[in-house]
Amino acid sequence: MPEDELSRSSHSNPGKSLVNGIKTNPASNNPKSSFSVPVGPPVYVDLAYIPNHCSGKNTDPEFFRRVRASYYVVSGNDAANGEPSRAVLDALLEGKSQWGDNVQVTLIPTHDTEVTREWYQQTHEKQQELNIMVLASSSTVVMQDESFPACKIEF
């Protein structure tokens, strides 16, 4: 790149660079800085899928403060990789507690795991206080030689 283009580039975007297509601030010491959510109003959606199979790598209380959904889908059935993550489920409680209103939220786990069962039992009172309902599935889908639990969502 010619020097004058490089100079213009750094002046138009001082202190920031692209890493894997994501703007980063090299002055920041926060390892999550490249994934931080920009300041702004919350986003309201009907249904949100918790990223990365509910792994704690990319989801924190800020996600739940900003992405306000009527329904959150929690997938993940890999305890060895921390999926689903107890920290993410706790982050839902923390984030929802800061909404300022008591709208109902439904959590839809796609798998019955020990992590979700323990979290449900240990935080049930807080869930009721925050108007969070955990949807348990009693339905099963059968396809040829395979069957799996399923949930039906109606809007």
Domain residue ranges of the chain, discontinuous segments joined by +: 43-149
C-alpha 76/C-alpha 82 separation (Å) is 9
C-alpha 17/C-alpha 38 separation (Å) is 16
Digit-coded pLDDT (tens) for 81-136:
666 888 999 999 999 999 988 899 999 888 888 888 899 999 999 999 999 999 87
pTM here? 0.64
C-alpha 82/C-alpha 25 separation (Å) is 29
pLDDT of residue 26: 44
C-alpha 75/C-alpha 83 separation (Å) is 8
pLDDT of residue 55: 61
How sure is the predictor about 2, in pLDDT bands with cuts at 50, 70 and 90? Answer: low
pLDDT of residue 36: 57
From the list 21, 149, 82, 59, the residue with the least C-alpha distance to 72 is 59
Share of the chain above pLDDT 70, in %: 61
Which ranges of the chain would DSSP assign to H, the alpha helix?
Answer: 3-12, 51-54, 61-66, 86-96, 114-122, 124-129
C-alpha 54/C-alpha 116 separation (Å) is 11
Across 35-39, 61-65, 139-143, least confident range:
35-39
Beta 43-49 vs 67-74: how paired, if at all?
parallel
